[in-house]
Amino acid sequence: MTPETTSPCRTPNDGLPVAGLLALAMTGFICIMTETLPAGLLPQIGAGLHVSPALAGQMVTAYAVGSLSAAIPLTLATQRWRRRRVLLLAIIGFVLFNSVTAFSAHYGLTLVARYGAGAAAGLAWALLAGYARRMVTRSRQGRALAIAMVGTPIALSLGVPAGTWLGAAVGWRLAFGVMSASTLLLILWVLAKVPDFPGAAHHERLPFGHVLRKPGVRSVLGVVMAWMLAHNVLYTYIVPFITPAGLAGQADRILLLFGLAALAGIWLTSRTVDHALRLSVLASLAIFAAVAGVFAIGAASPAVILIGVAIWGLTFGGAATLLQTALADAAGDGADVALSMNVVAWNSAIAGGGLLGGIMLDLWGAASFPWAVAALATVGFLVTWQARTHGFPSGHRLEQRQTYEKNGTA
């Protein structure tokens, strides 16, 4: 399993395979939409399944549990499969389980379908970054990954509000049906535009523990946990946080602003990820921590909130590209296995952010969020700073990769 493998007909001067990379981005879009769609439709779903909104909310929990529990086992089990076959398996899983969700009249069956959809997402997220890297030459891997990850902020900023509106207008079941129909089109897109690659040969299969012990892998995963935990404490409870500034009724616009800024952040990251990955991570975390400090002082000011959210989105937009690139570089031939660990770390941080933020909100109120965010972002900054040899080395990542291979440490 070599993420750096490229098509033999491609040369370093070739353009990026944008159509294929956008198919991967659409897969990420489907993942996020499937995960978050129930959140805006809990009353309607509860009424349709004859359960309380709180029980309906467990559809989100079941999805997260599916991603957490299945990402690593499914990735290890499919290491030898051809890569497009694995990608299509994950996408077909969305068609199947979203269709079951759309037609199910039983709460238990719906939760099983949501678990299955989460498992499909866990497999997809573990595959996407490595797949994007294999579609291009090494010198273009950063830009390719930036394109492949663009589906996430689009889904969060535009897709989720649109899906919530659609579900409210025509019913939540039809909203899931539309998701399934869209995913069928994605299958055709993948077959037409995404190249296939071989899986790992038997002697190339790397065990979980071996990949985890590779230099730099644990450092990158530590930064993933710190950065995403900081982000999700604030993002999950954005409404109570912006309420003192009188912006509670404009939460949708605030989130749209965040999403648009994140898109700009992805574009900036595509220009810096290859030659300044370490500096990009350090700058993003330092600015995020500084914004949290400003929030701590001026959270009652609408202007502070608006400007701060825009800067926060800008620093967050490239996080997936930067961290997954660093992790795949550190893991080398074990990139797919390491990226399945990333799925677990990322989703654990989402769940942890919701749990930690809820406890803080009950004990100290939303004013405590910036202090926790600043502390966690600082931890991420310090781990990045210490991982200067492996994980987040300075200089051009292509040169660092060649050095690792020469020394046999990758």
Higher pLDDT, 380 or 270: 380
Predicted confidence band at 49 (pLDDT cuts at 50, 70, 90)? very high
Distance set, CA 180 to CA 92, 163, 176 (Å)? 9, 13, 6
Query: Is residue 126 in a domain?
Result: yes
The count of domains in the chain is: 2
Q: Which of 204, 219, 251 is the last residue of a domain?
A: 204
- pLDDT of the residue at 307: 97
- C-alpha–C-alpha distance, residues 326 and 142, integer Å: 10
Same structural domain, 95 and 135: yes
Average pLDDT over residues 313-339: 89
Name the residue with higher pLDDT: 65 or 97. Answer: 97
Which DSSP letter does residue 276 get?
-
pLDDT score recorded for residue 65: 87
Give the CA distances from residue 46 to residues 31, 52, 180, 209, 287, in Å, rounded to whole numbers and listed in that order.
22, 5, 21, 42, 41
pLDDT digits (tens, 9 = 90+) for 107-155: 999 999 999 999 999 999 989 988 998 898 887 888 888 899 888 878 8
Judge whether 285 lies within some domain: yes
Residues 189 and 217 in one domain: no
- Mean pLDDT over 217-238 rounds to 92
Same domain, 177 and 219: no
CB 349 within 8 Å of CB 274: no
Residue 249 burial (C-beta neighbours within 10 Å; 0-12, 13-18, 19+):
exposed
Average pLDDT over residues 35-46: 82
Same structural domain, 182 and 254: no
Which of 204, 232, 260 terminates a domain? The answer is 204
Are 163 and 89 in the same domain?
A: yes
Which of the given ranges, 51-65, 82-96, 116-130, 314-328, has the highest pLDDT on average?
82-96
Looking at residue 259, what is its pLDDT? Answer: 84
The pLDDT of residue 353: 85
Which range among 174-188, 275-289, 308-322, 351-365 shows the weakest confidence by mean pLDDT?
Answer: 351-365
pLDDT of res. 403: 52
Q: Are residues 394 and 360 in the same domain?
A: yes
Is 324 inside a domain boundary?
A: yes
pLDDT digit string, tens, across residues 379-401? 999 999 999 998 999 887 766 55
More confident residue, 351 or 107: 107
Query: What was the pLDDT predicted at 2?
Result: 36
Last residue of a domain, one of 204, 228, 250: 204
Q: What is the pLDDT of residue 205?
A: 64
What's the pLDDT score for residue 97? Answer: 97
User: Do residues 158 and 40 both lie within one domain?
Assistant: yes
Residue predicted with more confidence, 367 or 4: 367
CA–CA distance, 382 with 380 (Å, rounded to integer): 5
Q: Contact 87/127 with Cβ under 8 angstroms?
A: yes
Q: How far apart are CA 295 and CA 305, in angstroms?
A: 7
Whether the Cβ atoms of residue 332 and residue 406 lie closer than 8 Å to each other: no
- Hey, what amino acid is at 199? G
pLDDT tens string 160-201? 777 878 888 888 999 999 999 999 999 999 999 999 998 876
Question: What's the predicted TM-score (pTM) here?
Answer: 0.80
What pLDDT was estimated at residue 203? 52
Query: Quick one: 96 and 215 in the same domain?
Result: no
- How confident is the model at residue 246, as a pLDDT? 93
How far apart are alpha carbons 148 and 344 in whole angstroms? 19
Kindly report the CATH number assigned to the domain that includes residue 275. 1.20.1250.20
Instruction: Tell me if 3 is assigned to some domain.
Output: no
Q: Which of 56-60, 83-87, 270-274 has the highest mean pLDDT?
A: 83-87
pLDDT of residue 400: 58
Model pLDDT, residue 401: 55
Are residues 236 and 353 located together in one domain of the fold? yes
State which residues form the domain around 300: 208-407
- Backbone φ and ψ of 177, nearest 5°: -65, -40
pLDDT at 5: 39
Q: Is the pLDDT of residue 302 over 80?
A: yes
% of the chain surpassing 90 pLDDT = 48
In a domain, 2, yes or no: no
Mean pLDDT to the nearest integer, 17-31? 94
| Mean pLDDT (whole number) for 287-304 | 96
CA-nearest of 313, 160, 287, 301 to 234 is 313
Residues 238, 141: one domain?
no
Average pLDDT over residues 339-344: 88
Contact in structure between 68 and 344 (CB atoms under 8 Å): yes
4 belongs to a structural domain: no
| Residue 319 included in any domain | yes
Whole-number pLDDT of residue 291 = 97
Record the tokens describing residue 240, joined without a space.
């109570």
What secondary structure letter does DSSP report for 159? I
- Mean per-residue pLDDT, 369-373: 96
pLDDT exceeds cutoff 90 at 100: yes
Q: State residue 10's pLDDT score.
A: 43
Q: Tokens for 318, please give them.
A: 């490239």
Is residue 7 situated within a structural domain? no
pLDDT of residue 399: 65
**Do residue 222 and residue 252 come from a single domain?**
yes
What tokens appear for 233 in the block? 């404490």
- pLDDT given for residue 150 in this prediction: 86
Tell me the pLDDT band of 1, cut-offs 50, 70 and 90.
Answer: very low
Does one domain contain both 253 and 305?
yes
